[in-house]
Amino acid sequence: MIYTGRMTPETSPTGTQEFSLEQPSIEEFLSGAHDTNALTAAEAVELLAYPDLDNNQAEHEYIVDADNTVAYAQELQRMVGEVGRENVLELAGLVRDAAVNAVKAIGIKPSTHTTQLSWALWDMAKQRVASSDRFLASAGPGYKYRDVVGDALVDPKVRQTIVHRQVGWEVDSQLQLPLTTLYPLTGTGALKNIHAIQRAGTRKGPKNELDSFSLMQIGEESMTAILQVTDEAHIPRPRLITGPLGAYNPDRDRSLALWKEGKEALPGALQAIEDWTPAVSAAS
């Protein structure tokens, strides 16, 4: 499952949560007429379409057919033109690593999608499109986001928001599964707040995706809570399995192993996205 949801407006003169820009069709975009010296159109779309996933044809088609894919691919071209491909990919990797370690610290095995760069590149491009003058002009007066929007290349708060949203997507997805217990969060009180955010949020589309602002809130709530869990003793033990397995509880043990791995790496990963600056000031 790939989250491609849109920013959540606080106020909109049209009363809609959708946004789009005038953009060429995907066929026209890939024709070569929109290639740049920094990144061709085909390369931009490929970077957004999870190229490293095995058997990724379905994911590739989903991204290619998604609303605003061309707008985000064009924005990715602009980003690469400004600071160079290596810098853009480096920042996406740091954002991805922060989300992966946060998800582990919460006791969830990161999905294969979260371990890729594509979602981070997608959100970095989406943030820039959503905050651009050309989009705000098309949205009309009075349009205001609930989400934090801006340029991840220069604003650490935008990077944090991107991480929060992806972590929130993982947590929300996990909590929709039956018999799910996020053991590292059970003693923090965060789950009560997360369930309240889920109930208050809006879901839509064939994948029943929660709106982006609610996902960001869930991610922020989860990460704030998990950073306070510093000792295994703070993670409650559930009722133990009886019978031949005795006191062994596989779900808690798996969750605990992920928590230990994630919590050790998470502070450094968050500091890395806070401190990042491009190695060069222009594309090389």
| Predicted local confidence at residue 262, as pLDDT | 96
Match 């009560």 to its residue by tokens.
192
| Predicted local confidence at residue 17, as pLDDT | 41
Higher pLDDT, 263 or 254: 263
Note the pTM of the prediction, 2 decimals.
0.85
Query: To which H or E segment does residue 204 belong?
Result: strand 203-204
* CA distances (Å), origin 237, targets 37, 81, 182, 187, 243: 57, 52, 12, 10, 18
| Predicted local confidence at residue 195, as pLDDT | 95
Q: Is the pLDDT of residue 167 over 70?
A: yes
Domain edges within the chain: 9-272
pLDDT tens for each residue of 67-88: 788 999 999 999 999 999 999 9
Burial (CB count <10 Å: 0-12, 13-18, 19+), residue 146: middle
